Structure formats: structure tokens, C-alpha cells
A = this chain, B = another copy of it.
Amino acid sequence: MGTTQLDTVPEPKYWHLKTVLSEALDSEFSVGEILPNERDLAARFGVARATLRQALEQLELEGRLQRRRGVGTTVAPPRMGVAVASEQHTWPGAAGDAWQPADCVTAAPPSAVAQILESDPEDGVHIVRRSRVTHGQPVAAELLYIPASSVPDLSGIDAPSGTARARAVLRELARLDLEGEDRAVELGSARADDAKELDRLPGAPVLVVTTRYFAEGRTAAVSVATYRADTCRLTFGDSGGVEIHHDPERRAS
């Protein structure tokens, strides 16, 4: 018999292809290097372009590759650790905060947010947009929902919107006593506006972090932050400093 192994589970082509490519990335390519284009690669492996793309998509999802239309496919650097929460709780906008306020409007919250805030959807909330840049690269976009009732002393501010108002709202919010916070992380896909800000195509995979801030015995603010899933590893606690490298043995199969 020529076969040493029963082909009990015929492995899909794209799966095998992904393994082969992954090993090639480890041994024959360095970070930032450009791969051959998809048509050439497909021909080289003797598969249709769609099949090759299925393998590339998985590798991109795992943060191993970066693809840009009109440019090409490059080897991605290891994911960067992005600190999301530390042991002690702080208000958004506190000193050392990695976020940059972009603007602020006042409107009715989306129903899901109103539900978290346990407020009437008719009540106004201040919506602060912020963005986060690390190593010169945009990594996250955030919408911060702050009920108007959480920051009642905003009358002295004349700016109706914009960065100035965003800063004023955060300053007022920080006057409250932060009693606690909690978070949830889930997988999502980038909306068109977030995608633009994160320099990705709409639908790109993102990690959505929803944070509730508690003060005065209720939910005083809610943050919905959208992180690029391909380039980010979210860290909680003090693990931000440690870089975890790709392990061919474990992740490649």
C-alpha cells in the first residue's frame, strides 16, 4: 500500500495552504516584506485565486498579514499590546489617558445605550467622540455617552460642540466620585464611519469594548470603544509591557 495514513479527514485546501504559508512567513519572510501578488501566489500553489484568498483572509484575521488594495500584501508585525484597563479605576480623560477627544454633540442615545444607562431614550446625552493612536497608528475609535443629568453644571460653556465642548464635558464628569466600572468585550465588524477612522474597510473585524462607569449609585457614563482586531491585543492589568510572540507550534495548525 502506498498510503501510510488513511485519509480519514481530507483537510480543505485553504486550510493546508494557510499552514504552508504560515510556516513560510516564519522562516522566509521578515516583518514589512511584500508577498507576491494573489494571482502569482495562486498559480504557484496550483489553486484558484478565491481559494488562496480564503487562506490569506485567515492569516490576516490572526494578525499575521496586512493587505491593502492597490498596494499589496505585507507581513504584519506582532500585535501591539493596548492597555484597556488597569487595577485602579479612572474617569475617561484623566491624566495619562491615551485617548484624544475629537468632538461632542448632544442628542438622544441609541436604544441599546439608553438601556444600559437605564434612562429614558428621550433624555439627552452628550456624545463625545474620541480616538486612540499608538505608534503613529489609529487603533481605536470610541463613543462616550454621558447623560446630561450626570454633568448638570455645563451652562457656563458656550461651545455648542467641537473639541472644546468635549473637554468641558469630560472635566465636569471628573468632578463626580467614581465608584466603580466594569467592561465587556465582544467581536464585531466595523461600521462605515469607524472603518474610515481605523483605516480599514467596512466590515473589518473589531473588538468592541463596552465600559460602564458608576457614580452616585447609578451608571454615570457608558463608553463603546472599537479596536482594530487585526493589530491589537487588549490588555487588562499590568501585562501591557510583555510582548507575546507568534508561536508556530501552537497557532499554525
Interface residues of A (CB under 8 A from B): 15, 18, 58, 61-63, 79, 81, 85, 110-113, 115-116, 180-189, 191-192, 202-203, 205, 207, 210, 212, 229-230, 232-239, 242, 244-247, 249-251, 253
* Contact A115/B244 with A188-B251, A239-B183, A239-B212 known, Cβ cut-off 8 Å: yes
A233–B185 touching, CB < 8 Å: yes
Give 5 CB contacts A-B under 8 Å: A62-B189, A63-B187, A115-B245, A182-B235, A186-B233
CB contact under 8 A between A187 and B203, given known A245-B112, A253-B192: no
User: 11 more A-B contacts (CB under 8 A) besides A81-B184, A110-B249?
Assistant: A15-B203, A110-B247, A112-B247, A112-B249, A183-B236, A183-B239, A184-B244, A185-B235, A186-B229, A186-B234, A191-B251
The reply to whether A182 and B112 form a contact with Cβ atoms under 8 Å apart is: no
CB within 8 Å for A184 and B239 given contacts A61-B189, A202-B15: yes
The residue from B112, B235, B245 contacting A183, defined by CB atoms under 8 A apart: B235
Q: Which 4 pairs of residues, A with B, have the shortest CB-CB distance?
A: A182-B237, A112-B247, A182-B239, A187-B229
Closest to A114 in B: B247
* Residues of B contacting A229 in the complex (Cβ-Cβ under 8 angstroms): 186-187
Q: Given that A212-B239, A249-B111 are known contacts, is A234 also in contact with B184, CB under 8 Å in the complex?
A: yes
The count of identical subunits is: 2
Residues of B within 8 A of A85 (CB): 236
* Beta-carbon nearest neighbor of A54 in chain B: B203
- Give the residues in chain B near A183, CB-CB below 8 Å: 235-237, 239
Q: A113 to B242, alpha carbons, bound, how many Å?
A: 12
A68 to chain B, nearest CB (A): 17
Q: Which chain B residues border A186 with CB–CB below 8 Å?
A: 63, 79, 207, 229, 232-234
Q: Is the CB of B236 within 8 A of A236?
A: yes
B110 close to A210 (CB less than 8 A): no
| Contact A62–B188 (Cβ < 8 Å) | yes
The residue on B at minimum CB distance from A185 is B234
With A116-B244, A188-B251, A210-B244 as known contacts, state yes or no: A236 contacts B182, CB within 8 Å: yes
